[in-house]
A and B are shown apart, each in its own frame.
Chain A
Amino acid sequence: MNATQPTTVKLLPIYWLESKMEVLKMWRSPGFAISSLLFPVMFYTFFGLLFTMNADNMSTYLLATYGTFGVIGPALMSFGVGVAVERGQGWFDVKEASPMPASAYIIARIAVSLVFSVAVIMCLFTLGATFGDVKLLQSQWLLLCIVLMLGSLPFCAIGLAMGLSLKSNTAPAVVNLTYLPMSFLSGLWVPINMFPETMQNIAHFLPPFHLAQLALKVIDMDIGGNVWLHFGALLAYGLVFFALAMMAYNKKDKS
Chain B
Amino acid sequence: MRWGLLIVILLTAFFTLLPEPEAAAQLPSQNFVIRNVRLFDGDKIHPSTDLLIEGGVIKLIKEKINNRRNFSEIDGDGKTLMPGLVDAHAHVWGDALTQAINAGVTTELDMFSMPQLISPMQQQRDDNKNTAQADVFSATILATAPNGHGTEYGFDIPVLTGPTQAKDFVEQRIKQGADYIKIVYDAPDSPYQFSPSISLETLTELVKQAHIHNKLAVVHIDNLKSAKQAVRAGVDGLIHSFMDAVADDELAQLMQQNHVFFIPTLTVEASLAQVMPDQSLLGDLVLVDYINAEQMASLKAPFMNLGFKPSDLSKAKQSVKKLHRAGITILAGTDAPNPGTAHGISLHEELRLLVEAGLTPLQALKAATSNSHNAFNIGYRGTIAINQPATMVLVDGDPTLDIMRTRHITAIWKNGQWFERVVTKPDNSVTPAISAGLIADFNQQTISTFWGEGIEATNDNVIGGHSTVSVLLNQSEGILNVSGEVKKGFTYPWAGVQFFTTKKPGQAMDLSQLQTLEFRAKGNISTLYVMLFQKGSYQPVVQSITLSKDWQTHSVKLSGFTNADLANVTALTWVASQTLQTFEFAIDDIALR
Contact = CB atoms under 8 A, between A and B. Distances in A.
Given A56-B387, A57-B386, A224-B64, A135 B15 contact: no
Q: Which residue, B11, B15, B19, has most C-beta atoms of chain A within 10 A?
A: B19
Interface in B35-83: 52, 59-60, 62-66, 68
A137 B20 CA distance: 5
Contacts of A55: 387
Given A142-B15, A220-B66, A135 B21 contact: yes
A223 interface: yes
Contact of B20 (A54, A122, A138): A138
Contact of B65 (A137, A138, A220): A220
A129 B16 CA distance: 12
Majority SS at the chain A contact face: helix
Interface in B12-31: 14-16, 18-22
Contacts of B16: 138
A141 B63 contact: no
A145 B387 CA distance: 25
Contacts of B14: 122, 125
A217 B18 CA distance: 19
B66 A138 contact: no
Contacts of B11: 118
A223 B18 CA distance: 25
A19 to B, nearest CB: 12
B6 to A, nearest CB: 14
A138 B15 contact: yes
Nearest to A137: B20
Contacts of B59: 57
A52 to B, nearest CB: 11
A223 B59 CA distance: 15
Contacts of A54: 386-387
A108 B463 CA distance: 88
A134 interface: yes
Interface string A164-186: 00000000000000000000000
A19 B241 CA distance: 79
A134 B62 contact: no
A127 B323 CA distance: 52
Contacts of A135: 19-22
Contact of A136 (B20, B64, B65, B387): B20
A224 B59 CA distance: 15
Interface in A102-158: 118, 122, 125, 129, 134-138, 141-142, 145
A221 B20 contact: no
Contacts of B62: 220-224
A129 B21 CA distance: 11
Contacts of A56: 387
Contact of A129 (B18, B22, B60, B68): B18
A122 B68 CA distance: 24
B15 A141 contact: yes
A141 B64 CA distance: 21
B63 to A, nearest CB: 4
Contact of B387 (A57, A138, A142, A223): A57
A255 B21 CA distance: 59
Contacts of B65: 220
Contacts of B21: 135-137
Contacts of B68: 137, 220
A129 B64 contact: no
Nearest to B386: A57
A57 B52 CA distance: 13
B65 to A, nearest CB: 6
Contacts of A129: 18-19
Nearest to B59: A57
A224 B20 CA distance: 24
Contacts of B60: 220-221
Nearest to A145: B15
Given A135-B19, A222-B62, 17 more contacts: A54-B387, A55-B387, A57-B386, A129-B18, A129-B19, A134-B19, A135-B20, A135-B22, A138-B15, A220-B60, A220-B62, A220-B65, A220-B66, A220-B68, A224-B62, A224-B63, A224-B64
Interface of B: 11, 14-16, 18-22, 52, 59-60, 62-66, 68, 386-387
23 contacts: A54-B386, A54-B387, A55-B387, A57-B386, A57-B387, A122-B14, A129-B19, A135-B21, A135-B22, A136-B18, A136-B20, A137-B21, A137-B68, A138-B20, A141-B15, A142-B15, A145-B15, A220-B52, A220-B60, A220-B66, A220-B68, A223-B62, A224-B63
